[in-house]
C-alpha cells in the first residue's frame, strides 16, 4: 500500500523569504501523480502544483516549484518570495495512475505560517 509522509508538522518563514516543505512517499508503482494542495483557514483545498512521475522535469508554477526525486521517492515543495497569503496547511498527495482508480492518499500536512 502507498503511504505519504510529511515530516514537518509546522514551519514558519519570514515574508519574502524561501521555504521548502518536504514530502516522501512509498510505492511500488512506476506511473503515478503527485500533488501539493493548500488549505487556508477557509478550509477549501486549492491545488498548488502537480507532477507526473514519468516526467523528469520538475514542475513550476510561478513562485512554487517542486524537487521531484523519483529514485528517492521525494517530492518537496519550494515557495519563493513567501507572502502572507501563503499561510495555510499544505498537503502532499499521491495518486496511482490506474484506469478507474483515481484515489488520493494524503500526507499528514505541514502548517506553514508566513511572518510579517
Which residues lie near another protein (CB under 8 A)? 33, 35, 37, 42-47, 50, 52, 91, 97, 99, 102-104, 106-109
Given the complex with another protein, which of 18 and 54 has the nearer CB atom?
Answer: 54
Which own/partner pairs from 80-83 qualify as long-range (CB within 8 Å, at least 24 positions apart)? 80/18, 81/16, 81/17, 81/18, 82/13, 82/14, 82/15, 82/16, 82/17, 82/18, 82/19, 82/114, 83/15, 83/114
CB contact set of 26 (below 8 Å; sequence gap of 6+):
2, 3, 5, 73
CB of 93 to another protein, least distance (A): 8
Given the complex with another protein, which of 100 and 116 has the nearer CB atom?
Answer: 100
Given the complex with another protein, which of 60 and 102 has the nearer CB atom?
Answer: 102
Distance CA 19, CA 14 (A): 9
Given the complex with another protein, which of 29 and 103 has the nearer CB atom?
Answer: 103
CB of 95 to another protein, least distance (A): 8
Map grid coordinates 511572518 to a residue. Answer: 115
CB of 42 to another protein, least distance (A): 7
CB of 17 to another protein, least distance (A): 26
Amino acid at each position: 500500500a502507498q503511504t505519504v509522509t510529511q515530516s514537518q508538522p509546522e514551519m514558519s518563514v519570514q515574508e519574502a523569504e524561501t521555504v521548502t516543505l518536504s514530502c516522501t512517499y512509498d510505492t511500488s508503482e512506476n506511473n503515478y501523480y503527485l500533488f501539493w494542495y493548500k488549505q487556508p483557514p477557509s478550509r477549501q483545498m486549492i491545488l498548488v502544483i502537480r507532477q507526473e512521475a514519468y516526467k523528469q522535469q520538475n514542475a513550476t508554477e510561478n513562485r512554487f516549484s517542486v524537487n521531484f526525486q523519483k529514485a528517492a521517492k521525494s517530492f518537496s515543495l519550494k515557495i519563493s518570495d513567501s507572502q502572507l497569503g501563503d499561510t495555510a496547511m499544505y498537503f502532499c498527495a499521491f495518486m496511482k495512475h490506474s484506469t478507474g482508480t483515481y484515489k488520493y492518499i494524503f500526507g499528514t500536512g505541514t502548517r506553514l505560517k508566513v511572518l510579517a
